[in-house]
Amino acid sequence: MSKLQQHWETVFKTKDTTQVSWYQEVPSTSLELVNTYARGKDTTILDVGGGDSHLPHSLVELGYTDITVLDISKAALSLSKSKFIESSSVKYVNTDILEYQSNQTIEVWHDRAVFHFLSKDSEKLRYKQKAIEYLQDDGVLLLATFYKAGGPTMCSGLEVCRHDQESILALFAPEFEIIISFVEKHITPSDKEQVFIWNVLKKKK
């Protein structure tokens, strides 16, 4: 087990996940974006770093039928399975996104949890290559990261890499184009403010 895997196993085994900074009882922005960019209820959706998020189960309630939740922590995925009724619409994959392998292509790739933890250029480029490999042409990448202006520099004991529209475009161009970009303020369970930037990227044909 890598140090990073061990770190996240410890987090999810020892923390109350309703009190961690990223917790959302209703992931409203994520749901809105998926609903906007999914072509239908059978759209293939990958939730990167989904862990114990409510998003996949909210999507199932809305009728989506092909959701893959990927997380580096087995404990996070176990929590998700234990709290909700398991559904054939949801598959769980325990791996690092940088090592992800699948025979399925993705139409909507969602990430509110992982990309800002990638600090090395080599990691960011590998992430991009995975998105290129597995996203269908015209597929969309819904990417939320901590914002350069006002976002935190640490999360869950790890340093994070903050971004803005320019830094995301510089990395993901020319294979991707940004459709929209907007800033969102998230209030944590401890009533602190975290500033995110969302970028919706479309993979070019």
CATH number of 3-14+27-179+196-203: 3.40.50.150
Q: Which tokens sit at 183? A: 């800033």
In this predicted structure, what is the pLDDT of residue 59? 94
Q: Which residues have C-beta within 8 Å of that of residue 72, sequence separation ≥ 6?
A: 4, 5, 8, 49, 94, 95, 96, 97
Beta-carbon contacts of 152 under 8 Å, excluding residues fewer than 6 positions away, are 146, 160, 194
Q: What is the pLDDT along the chain (205 residues), one digit of tens a residue?
A: 788 888 888 988 898 888 888 788 899 999 999 999 999 999 999 999 998 899 998 999 999 999 999 999 999 999 888 777 667 899 999 999 999 999 999 999 999 989 999 999 999 999 999 999 999 999 999 999 999 988 878 888 888 999 999 999 999 999 999 999 999 999 988 898 889 999 999 999 8
Instruction: Give pLDDT, residue 85.
Output: 64
Take residue 168 and report the two structure tokens written for it: 């995301």
Q: What is the DSSP letter of 20?
A: S
- Torsions phi, psi of 56, nearest 5? -60, -35
By CB atoms closer than 10 A (0-12, 13-18, 19+), residue 156 is: middle
**Residue 15 confidence (pLDDT):** 87
Does this model's pTM top 0.85? My answer is yes
What pLDDT is attached to residue 86?
67
